[in-house]
Amino acid sequence: MSDQIRVSILGATGSVGQSALDVVASEPETYKVAAVTANQNVQALAEAAVYARAETAVIADPERYEDLKDALSGSDVAAAAGPEAICDAAAQDADRVVSAIVGAAGLNATLAAVKRGATVALANKESLVCSGPLMIEEARASGAQLLPIDSEHSAIFQVMDRPERVEKLVLTASGGPFLSASMAQMAAATPEQACAHPNWSMGAKISVDSATMMNKGLELIEAVYLFETPADRIDVLVHPQSIIHSLVSYDDGSVLAQLGAPDMRTPISYALAWPKRMRLPGVERLDLAKIARLDFEDPDEDRFPALKLARRAVEAGPWGPAVLNAANEVAVDAFLQKHIGFLAIAGMVQDVLDQFGAGERGDITDPESFEQVFDLDRRARDAARSLLQQAA
Ligand code: NAD
Ligand code: MG
């Protein structure tokens, strides 16, 4: 059927991936799943593939190819394995490629889809953060389109009717689990506490990013590149209920916002069906009278220095976000493994940015190729790891 939408889902076993599968399953007449991919969890991938009646399932770990084949035996799903097979799946023909791998690990696959000229439903903000201008340029060259899945960017995209009249973008932030925590409480925070988000259920990495508010920092950078808007025209507004997903302020005084229950299926569905909208019976409808009030406050950049760091990084030029992201990934991982405390995450990101910004690692220049992005990412991870060793 020609009006069917063929969808591939990279990172199908993750939080966004599972929500994407849910959206697709709610409209079996509309969607057809081409490929699904995952990192290591063969069982979860096989279940996702069979559930979605996917054509192909790809596991990143090449050692797990046989296990995947076994798990898929008796089904019509083809098996493949290895990082190149993930890129092949990303590049294969599909109307939408959901990029929902976590971290810079998603860069290669996202790039493969962009190079093919795909319409990419982008959740993997880190890939855009570390390669922004190059990725946008690549998309322009191939005709690829980047449609945001991140709820804030989806909100902006949904209400951005006249880009030339925009004065400001306003990203809302829940403030995460430590919105009203003291510095002492944050210093003692455990991974379990950091991952207990009040409004959203998400993967571990983005949950910690939400707790430090680095997630909002990464989203600020994502918005700079996606909407080609300088950082000084993007505000962050704390809104603990996560009902208003973001706002666009126009030069006639109008402010347009998108509201909804905090449920990732709404922005995922928008990115899959755009320019159409699709009915989502399973998503809770807003009852504003019941909610009764919405609260707002300015972010506290002293308790949440990650926001300042992200601003500083993006203003330094494209090298800044690449370094910030790599250092943050190493620091979040170390925190999840209980090697460092919660407040040390932003501390480490700042130290690595300082090292690169102060030129201790040679003359820092903006990456001019994806090779240089990967190189910068490696060097920033090395710098963060040696800080970890010094601290141990
Ligand atoms: P998650 O940890 O739940 O899932 C990550 C997925 O990526 C899994 O399917 C995993 O198998 C796969 N993966 C991990 N490492 C990989 C590798 N090296 N190679 C191939 N596949 C790999 O993460 P998530 O919460 O779903 O987040 C995914 C992305 O979406 C992140 O970039 C996050 O910032 C973004 N995002 C998430 C949410 C949310 O609600 N969870 C909201 C907005 C944006
Ligand atoms: Mg978001």
Residue-wise pLDDT for 72-108, tens only, equals 999 999 999 999 999 999 999 999 999 999 999 999 9
Instruction: Evaluate the omega torsion of the peptide bond into residue 262 and state whether it is cis, within 30 degrees of 0.
Output: no
CA distances from 37 to 60, 84, 132, 323 (A): 7, 12, 24, 27
* CA nearest ligand 1 atom 31, residue: 102
Task: Kindly state if the Cβ of 92 falls inside 6 Å of ligand 1.
Answer: no
Among 101, 208, 210, say which to mutate for ligand 1: greatest number of ligand atoms within 8 Å of CB. Answer: 101
CA distances from 87 to 18, 19, 341 (A): 20, 22, 35
Q: How confident is the model at residue 50 (pLDDT cuts 50, 70, 90)?
A: very high
Q: How confident is the model at residue 2 (pLDDT cuts 50, 70, 90)?
A: low
Length, in residues, of the chain: 392
Backbone angles phi, psi at 73, to 5 degrees: -65, 140
For range 349-369, the mean pLDDT = 89
Q: 291 CA to middle of ligand 2, Å?
A: 21
Task: Kindly state if the Cβ of 202 falls inside 6 Å of ligand 1.
Answer: yes
Among 10, 16, 125, 329, say which to mutate for ligand 1: greatest number of ligand atoms within 8 Å of CB. Answer: 16
Pairing state between β 255-259 and 244-250: antiparallel
Nearest atom within ligand 1 for CA of residue 17: 26
Q: Is the pLDDT of residue 391 over 90?
A: no
pLDDT, position 3: 82
Q: 104 CA to middle of ligand 2, Å?
A: 17
Q: Which ligand is nearest to the CA of 156?
A: 2
Nearest atom within ligand 1 for CA of residue 40: 11
The 10 Å Cβ neighbour count of residue 280 is 20
pLDDT, position 66: 98
For range 42-59, the mean pLDDT = 98
The token pair at 292 is 């009764």
Q: 139 CA to middle of ligand 2, Å?
A: 22
Task: Kindly state if the Cβ of 122 falls inside 6 Å of ligand 1.
Answer: no
Task: Kindly state if the Cβ of 220 falls inside 6 Å of ligand 1.
Answer: no
Q: In the chain, what percentage of residues exceed pLDDT 90?
A: 96
Task: Kindly state if the Cβ of 86 falls inside 6 Å of ligand 1.
Answer: yes
Query: Which tens digits make up the pLDDT trace of 114-170?
Result: 999 999 999 999 999 999 999 999 999 999 999 999 999 999 999 999 999 999 999
Query: Which tens digits make up the pLDDT trace of 213-242?
Result: 999 999 999 999 999 999 999 999 999 999
Q: Which of 81, 74, 27, 88 is nearest to 57 (CA)?
A: 81
Task: Kindly state if the Cβ of 100 falls inside 6 Å of ligand 1.
Answer: yes
The token pair at 299 is 């972010």
For range 246-250, the mean pLDDT = 99
Task: Kindly state if the Cβ of 245 falls inside 6 Å of ligand 1.
Answer: no
Q: Which of 61, 49, 54 is nearest to 13 (CA)?
A: 49
Q: Which of 159, 13, 150 is nearest to 86 (CA)?
A: 13
User: What 8-state DSSP symbol labels residue 31?
Assistant: E
Q: In the chain, what percentage of residues exceed pLDDT 70?
A: 99
For range 296-325, the mean pLDDT = 98
How far is residue 153's CA from residue 223's CA, in Å, rounded to a whole number? 7
Locus of tokens 């993930």: 86
Q: Please report the sign of the dihedral spanned by the C-alpha atoms of residue 374, residue 211, residue 339, residue 184.
A: positive
